[in-house]
Structure 1
Amino acid sequence: MDTMRECFAAIVSRLLDEDPRLAVVLAEIGKDGFADAARAHPDRVINVGIREQLLVGVGGGLALTGMRPILHTFASFLIERPFEQIKLDFGHQGMGGVLVSAAGSYDWPAGGYTHMAPGDVALLDTLDGWTVHVPGHPDEAETLLRDAAAAGDDSVYVRLSAHTNSAPRDIAPGRFLTVREGRDGVVIAVGPMLENVLAAVEGLDVTVLYATTVRPFDERTLRAATAAGAGAGTGAAGAGAAGTGAGTGAAADVVIVEPYLAGTSTGAVNDTLADRPHRVLGLGIPRRELRRYGTIDEHLAGQGLDPASLRERIAGFLRR
């Protein structure tokens, strides 16, 4: 199986052949994957060197000329370091582009905290209008990358990771996928967290939604899932209100498990269910810094995102 980054280089190289509006901007990282594309399209594959603010500035300038720029480097260098340029060169100027990151929250632990970006999605939430895709498998990354490249002049962030699920799902950009249904609550698994979540909730009577697009937030699917659970748990009276997600009087319990900063999407859940009683638990990377670096699995365990830890936290929340 190709990695998400290998998939990214292969797919975008082909898209450069197909769409003369596309341009790729790199900051050293990932340049080897675009060597052939750079020879074929030297004016549309640009490596600015280790200058991340310039990376974003060049992308914004290309967008001003009518191009569709695709920018790539590690998440900490793509979102955190040049955030002012993202805010101004894309947001303030009203330009769109595609930001494609790698390394995520802890993909390369040996690189230390400089190469980790658990706050990237939360940071983009301070800006207006960004679509955020979080694939959980390289095949899903292809689907979401193609959608991002073709998204007119929209601003899109695609968060690639070395942390993946073992198999792809039949996803649709912008929609949550219902993986299983239950009556005692809804658990939203974001991107590569799906398999750990499924292992954690085995034997629990919960609905699991799989989210590979988290912005805009799929309010419709979440409302339908919480309404169905309330209807199943409250008999005929609840069933009559299942279509609206309100009116049963039963509180909806929602857990969202994200591979980045814990609580990043709890506000979106609260807004979705503002008209009905509900409780929300946001699980993800805590704000405390782990200063011991191991494998991805060791970091998952250290952050409480391994199946055993997730089960304890999810089951405890649902029992309360």
Structure 2
Amino acid sequence: MDTMRDRFISTTSQLLDDDPRLAVVLAEISRDGFDAAERRHPDRVINVGIREQLLVGVGGGLALTGLRPIVHTFASFLVERPFEQVKLDFGHQGVGGVLVSAGASYDWPAGGFTHMAPGDVALMDTLDGWAVHVPGHPDEAEALLRRAAAGDGRDYVRLSMQSNERARPVTGAGFSTVREGRAGVVVAVGPMLDNVLAATEGLDTTVLYATTVRPFDGAALRRAVAGGGTADVVLVEPYLAGTSTAAANDALAETPHRVLGLGVARRELRRYGQLEEHLAGQGLDARSLRERISGFLTRT
């Protein structure tokens, strides 16, 4: 199976052929994958080198001319380093574009903390008008990317090396119900779904699946908890723990509830290790999730 990043390159290359409104802006990362597309569209595939502030600034400038830019690099260099440009060159200028990241929270541990970005979604959440997409499979990444490219708004698509075994239909921006139960609701975001399903096997819980987390689908969460007394909700996100707890609390403001936000801790794991070891170290593997979820749901 190809990776989400592989699918991003092939899909975007095709979109460049089909839609003259689109342009791709790179900062060396994934440049080789766009060699053929650059030969076909030298005016719409732009590599700025390792200059991330310029990367986003060029994207914003292209948007001001009427193009729809697709801006790509690692998450830490796309959201964190040039955050001022994201805020001003897109949001303040009132233009749209598609930011597509790679690397996720810790996909390449050998790169060290400079290449890790568990706080990217929380940081984007401070800005108005951004839709945030977190696919859990390359097929979902393609569907979300095509939808974002065809639109006019501001979209952030977060790609990862982590992937669920199979894709789920991406039919809209809302959460989908994967499993129904009566003793709590677990919201699994993107590549967390398989581990959440394994962790909740045999538990009487509803599992919702989210590939678009902003806007937050509060209506789906309210429907999932309807009919009970106190609502118990667990959010399992592949980035900073607690990123969506405020959104869940707001959605359930009229319902007695408890919310547990699971994700990447603030502490830095300083050993390189492997992706799977970081997943376990953050308590996001299936075994750890079962202990944490079941412990929360049975607590009185």
Aligned-partner residue type, residue 148 of structure 2: A
Matched, 1:307 2:274: no
Cα distance in 2 between the residues matched to 1:114 and 1:188: 29
Q: Aligned partner of 1:27: which letter?
A: A
In 2, the alpha carbon distance for the partners of 1:194 and 1:134 equals 11
Residue identity in the other structure for 1:199: A
Amino acid at match of 1:274: A
Aligned to 1:23: 23
Match of 1:251 in 2: 230
Counterpart of 2:119, as a letter, is G
Structure possessing the higher radius of gyration over alpha carbons? 1
1:161 aligns with 2:160: yes
Residue of structure 2 aligned with 1:296, choices 272, 275, 279: 275
**Distance in 2 separating the partners of 1:294 and 1:272:** 38
Deviation at 1:173, TM superposition (A): 3.4
User: How far apart in 2 are the matches of 1:262 and 1:165?
Assistant: 20
| Contact map agreement 1:263 1:284 (CA 8 A) in 2 | yes
Alignment partner, residue 284 of structure 1: 263
Corresponding position of 1:319: 298
Residues in 2 aligned to 1:123 and 1:180: alpha-carbon distance in whole angstroms: 31
Structure 2 gaps, min length 5: none
Report the equivalent of 2:186: 187
Q: How does 1:82-231 map onto structure 2 within 5 Å?
A: 82-152=82-152, 154-228=153-227, 230=228
RMSD of the TM alignment (CA)? 0.7
Moved over 3 A (4+): none
Contact 2:144 2:170 in 1 (8 A): no
Letter in 1 for 2:213: V
Q: Offset of 1:220 from its aligned partner?
A: 1.6
Q: Does structure 2 conserve the Cα–Cα contact (< 8 Å) formed by 1:147 and 1:173? A: no
State the shift of 1:172 in Å. 2.2
* Aligned twin of 1:247: none
2: CA distance between counterparts of 1:104 and 1:173?
A: 23
Q: Which amino acid aligns with 2:28?
A: E
Conserved 8 A contact 1:52-1:78:
yes
> Which residue is 1:237 aligned to?
none
Which runs of 5 or more residues in structure 1 are unaligned? 231-249
Secondary structure at the aligned position of 2:250 is classed as helix
Query: 1 CA distance for matches of 2:169 and 2:83?
Result: 33
Indicate the residue corresponding to 1:10 in structure 2. Answer: 10
**Amino-acid identity (%):** 76
Which letter does structure 1 place at the counterpart of 2:191?
A: P
Equivalent position amino acid for 2:274 in 1: T
Deviations along 1:192-223, one digit per CA (max 9) or x if unpaired, are 00000011111100000010000001112111
Q: For 1:276 and 1:205, how far apart are their aligned partners in 2?
A: 20
- 1:65-102 alpha-carbon deviations (Å, 9 max, x no partner): 01000000000000000000001101111111000000
Name the amino acid aligned to 1:293: Y
Contact 1:144/1:173, CA 8 A, preserved across alignment: no
Matches within 5 A, 1:30-41: 30-41=30-41
TM-score (norm 1): 0.93
Q: Which amino acid aligns with 2:7?
A: C
Secondary structure class of the residue paired with 2:226: helix
Deviations 1:269-289 (A, max 9, x none): 001111110100000000000
Give CA deviations for 1:240-282 in whole Å, capped at 9, x if unaligned.
Answer: xxxxxxxxxx111000000000000001100111111010000
What's the offset of the Cα at 1:295?
1.4
Residues 253, 279 of structure 1: 8 Å contact kept: yes
User: For residues 136 and 33 of structure 2, what CA distance do their matches in structure 1 show?
Assistant: 21
| CA-CA distance at 1:64 after TM superposition | 0.4
The letter of the residue matching 2:116 is M
